[in-house]
Amino acid sequence: MPTKDCIMTVNKQIILDSRPEGAASTKNFVLREQAIPDLRDGQVLVRHLFLSLDPYMRGRMNAGKSYAQAQALGEVMIGGTVGVVEASNHARFKVGDTVVGMGGWQTHSVVDADAPGMLRTVSTAHIPASAYLGAVGMPGVTAWMGLTQICEPKSGETVVVTAASGAVGSVVGQLAKARGCRVVGIAGGEEKCAYVTDTLGFDACIDYKANADSKSLYGALKAATPDGVDGLFENVGGPIMDTVLARTNPFARIAVCGLIAGYDGAPHPMENAAMILVNRLKIQGFIVSERMDLWPQALGELGELVAGGKLTYRETIATGLESAPEAFLGLLKGKNFGKQLVKLSD
């Protein structure tokens, strides 16, 4: 283990200082500095390279009941990280190892390495470190799990993906295409839709900003799904999901991954709820962390695809911990392109 003089002794952190009332703002966060404590037996000090920003974090900022425990006030914001071991009092982790964990919105973390699921070593020989927070990380596994376990796509079927240019949606569509499906994305703006079709290989992409009312959106969706919809990977909810329900085929399967349209407290209108019964739809919400038994299989397929250049992904990278709140708020408004990361160190 290096001497204390060889490693950083100050840790920068962003904490949740207050809960949002409506839309989140930078006023909900506070930057603080703390001394890094000496390591106890079994602990590892990690210097974070990248922080992952994800929509689920907005739900945890609220105090109400949700699928995950609320983020505590006065504590470091939760978040996935990839970093380098700077010091170790654990035999399994060596100084210089690249590791993935839930280090949170901070430059460093001290981890009890024996705790299950807290830290895992990864190789950057063929996969960039940042990809372990995206296509070969939680977002990629989320895409794989919702598609394969709930949508259960069959060759020749039509799968619709909302937030199609994002970290999860972009992987869903490529995996569905590889399984022989017609894939239709929904995204915001011409640039994102062009990326979804021209780079990711989706068969079509609907710009919800250019089709702002339900009638226009339904018309565009009908043109893109002439044989109806057999699978929906839902990241948005609200009027967009409701419109897709109207195009579903009998026994269509819907994986509800996120409902970002309602994260600020907006209602989830559903005028086409009758389709659930009429078409005998299967609608299932899921949390990726509840099926850790499937992660090795998912990561195996995703890692091979990324290492082999067969899975495309895009990143939006903010620089410095101080930029995290603004980048996060931009993510909630769709300002990012692909996976939103914060670069914390080299």
Angle, helix 138-145 to helix 169-178, in steps of 10 degrees? 50
Mean pLDDT by 10 residues, the chain (346 residues): 55 97 95 96 97 93 80 96 97 97 97 90 96 97 98 98 96 98 97 97 97 95 98 95 97 94 76 96 95 95 97 97 97 92 96
In sequence order, what are the residues at sequence separation of 6 or more whose Cβ sits closer than 8 angstroms to the Cβ of residue 65?
A: none
pLDDT value at residue 12:
98
pLDDT value at residue 311:
97
pLDDT value at residue 8:
64
**Looking up tokens 């109207």, which residue turns up?**
246
pLDDT value at residue 191:
96
pLDDT value at residue 4:
41
Q: What's the pTM?
A: 0.90
From the CA atom positions of the chain, what is the Rg in Å? 21
What is the distance between the alpha carbons of residues 236 and 244, in angstroms, rounded to a whole number? 11
pLDDT value at residue 2:
42
What is the distance between the alpha carbons of residues 145 and 158, in angstroms, rounded to a whole number? 18
pLDDT value at residue 246:
97
pLDDT value at residue 7:
58
Helix (H, G, I), strand (E, B) or coil at 223: helix
What is the distance between the alpha carbons of residues 249 and 271, in angstroms, rounded to a whole number? 17
Domains of the chain, start order: 4-134+314-343 (3.90.180.10), 138-289 (3.40.50.720)
For residue 306, the one-letter residue type is V
Residue length, the chain? 346
Residue pLDDT, tens place only, 218-277: 999 999 999 999 999 999 999 999 999 999 999 999 999 988 877 777 777 789 999 999
pLDDT value at residue 3:
39
